[in-house]
Amino acid sequence: MFEGFYKVRFQLGDAVGRSVMYVRDGRMLGGNSAFAHIGAYRKSSDGIAIEVTTIRHNPDPNYRAMAGTDDATLLAQGGPDGALFRFEGGLKELPGVKFQSVMTPIEEEASPIAGGVGEGGVVNGLYSIHLRMLDGVEGGLTGVMLLNGGRILGGDASFYYIGSYTSEDGRWKGQILNQEHTPAKGENPVFGGHEVGIGFAGTCDGEGALLDATAFAGKRSLRLTAVLKLMHRV
- pLDDT value, residue 185: 55
The pairing of strands 125-133 and 140-148 is antiparallel
- pLDDT value, residue 191: 73
pLDDT tens-place string over residues 100-128: 999 999 976 556 677 889 999 999 999 99
- pLDDT value, residue 138: 82
- Domains of the chain (ranges; CATH) run 4-105 (2.40.128.380), 125-233 (2.40.128.380)
Q: Are 227 and 203 in contact (CB under 8 A)?
A: no
- pLDDT value, residue 188: 56
Nearest to 221 by CA among 198, 189, 200: 198
- pLDDT value, residue 190: 64
The ranges of the chain with pLDDT < 70 are: 108-112, 184-190, 192
Q: 150: alpha, beta or left, given left = phi > 0 and alpha = psi -120 to 50?
A: left
DSSP letters spanning 100-139: EEEEEE---TTSPPP--B-TTPPPPEEEEEEEEE-TT---
